[in-house]
Amino acid sequence: MTSNAELVRATACENVERLRRGEITPHDLLDALEARIKEVDGQVNALPTLCFDRARSHADALMKKPAGERGLLAGMPVPIKDLTDVAGVLTTQGSPIFKDSIATKSNIVVEMLENNGAVVYAKSNTPEFGAGAQTFNEVFGPTLNPWNLSRSASGSSGGAAAALASGTAWLAHGTDVGGSLRNPASFCGVVGMRPSIGRVAHSQGVKVDRTLSADGPMARNVEDLALMLDAMSGENPGDVLSLPRLPTSFLSAARSGAKPKRVAYSANLGISPVDPEVAEITRKAALRLAEAGVIVEEAHPDFKEAVECAHVLRAYDYVLTKGKLLKSHRDQLKPEVIWNIEEGLKLTLADMERAEAQRVTLMNRALAFFETYDLLLCPTTIVAPFPIEQRYLAECDGVKFDNYVGWLAIVSAITIACCPGLSIPCGFTRENLPVGLQIVAPPRGEAHALAAGKLLETILGLGAITPIDPRKG
């Protein structure tokens, strides 16, 4: 009989194969998770809301189906970010305004996962409304980084990343606007991908063509992430931008052995300061692709308008999604959210026209760049995990930021350019803190990013660095 510890350490792909062969059941995995959560999550605070009764009922229903009809995940447990509705489960969005809110209907992305054999057992912690790339809120408190409990797990999918790193999840759901999947993956030594627009269907709230935010997969290694993306992707009439499922799975792409011919590396994309140690670690990792015969050159598209464009479009998005709350619950909103909404309220039609035109220009420049280079590599985050007491990063390499999202330019530029971005662990700082490398592909090029991510993961020997027991700072 497989022990709880063995199940926790196993990869998602290994446990799914065991489920398919009938060697274990979803209940075995839920039992292992419940024990592991009791052991470590009090130190990390990654999964503040648990729903094991719902999960076990779902597992019972799944087990009544023939083995071949239990979906791609076959009963694999998955936590959902606390921004996203799961029917019958508390969804606070990290806000005191919604601290008692129970969802009546699941988001499309949750329905897609459950239809593909996922069993939802928890909600992962997030900053208020996903704002700030540092996971803390007034409802549940901060999520700590398992690699060093005095440091940030980043955000806004910080709970998901910390759960993966500390062994209370094998796969996790996240969302991403300005790096909210990629940043915490980097800080916590796991893998996260912002997929192409429409790759993962999700429920629409305020705008049918809202494209800054994307749902995506997180995992401990590239193959597990590809499996999760397979389970999440596919079209749905509730999301008019959603794309059909591809004929070849993302897991097959990750395992294909395909490699790029020529890639570009940039330490800063020409728009952001970067900590010198992070730049050195990511550059060395990128250059190791040469061992597989890949040409690696220093280059990047022209992203000079990306910071301004992201600022305007993000502010507009906040007005759309949170503007009413400023009128009705201003006293319960954190300062950063208030600032972002008010920035949006200042916008003119001329501001919007310029930003939308800039986005088209940036996307077209990226497309032209990818005619020469198969992929673009750069740091995922510009620093290693910073102290948990900091609300956000205010300065890097002597450059001070004038707002709470200034330090996110290197990931938000990829969002603005409509490209998928994959973050994989690529090394450690002198303080033994993980550093992530962002692998960017052209739009709808997730398969190429995953194949390269798996190749580099193998070269670097960093495919099995988690789970770990939480480490005190």
Whole-number pLDDT of residue 205: 87
Average pLDDT over residues 227-244: 98
Sign of the dihedral defined by the CA atoms of residues 144, 150, 155, 156, in that order: positive
Query: With b meaning 16 or more CB within 10 Å and e meaning fewer, what string describes 37-74?
Result: bebbbebbbbbbbbbbebbbebbeebeeeeeeebbbbb
What is the chain's alpha carbon radius of gyration, rounded to the nearest angstrom? Answer: 20
Tell me if residue 400 is catalytic.
Answer: no
Confidence of residue 435 (pLDDT cuts 50, 70, 90): very high
DSSP-assigned letters across all residues of 74-103: TT-EEEEETTS--TTSB--TT-GGGTTPBP
| Rounded average pLDDT over 30-43 | 98
Confidence check: pLDDT of 1 > 80: no
pLDDT in tens, 308-367: 999 999 999 999 999 999 999 999 999 999 999 999 999 999 999 999 999 999 999 999
Tell me how many domains the chain contains. Answer: 1
* pLDDT tens digits for range 153-209: 999 999 999 999 999 999 999 999 999 999 999 999 999 999 999 999 999 989 999
The single-letter DSSP state of residue 39 is: H
pLDDT bin (cut points 50, 70, 90) of residue 39 is very high
Span 243-281, pLDDT tens digits: 999 999 999 999 999 999 999 999 999 999 999 999 999
So what's the pLDDT on residue 2? 84
The DSSP result for 330-399, as a single string, is GGGS-HHHHHHHHHHHT--HHHHHHHHHHHHHHHHHHHHHTTT-SEEEEESSSSSPPBTT-SS--EETTE
Residue 151 located in a structural domain: yes
Active site residue 180: yes
Give catalytic status of residue 157 as yes or no. Answer: no
We report the CATH number of the domain holding residue 349 as 3.90.1300.10
Query: Using one digit for the tens of pLDDT, what is the confidence trace for 119-155?
Result: 999 999 999 999 999 999 999 999 999 999 999 999 9
Q: Specify the pLDDT at position 186.
A: 98
- 86 falls within a domain: yes
Kindly state whether residue 433 falls inside one of the protein's structural domains.
Answer: yes
Three-state SS at 419: coil
Mean pLDDT across the chain: 98
CA distance 231 to 223: 13
**pLDDT at residue 473, as a whole number:** 83
Please count the other Cβ atoms lying within 10 Å of the Cβ belonging to residue 244.
9
> Partners of 102 in the beta sheet?
90
Give the domain range for residue 147. 4-460
Distance between CA 29 and CA 37 in Å, rounded?
12
User: How does DSSP assign 282-320, residue by residue?
Assistant: HHHHHHGGGGGT-EEEE-----TTHHHHHHHHHHHHHHH
**Residue 471, domain member (yes or no):** no
Q: What share of the chain is helix, strand, coil (3-state, %, to 5)?
A: 40, 15, 40
Residue 468 domain flag: no
Q: Among 95, 124, 157, 180, which one carries the catalytic annotation?
A: 180
Residue 88 lies in a domain: yes
List 81, 123, 322, 334, catalytic entry: 81
Domain assignment of residue 470, yes or no: no
Find the catalytic residue in 95, 152, 154, 156: 156
- For 451-465, what is each residue's pLDDT tens digit? 999 999 999 999 999
Residue 472 counted as domain residue = no
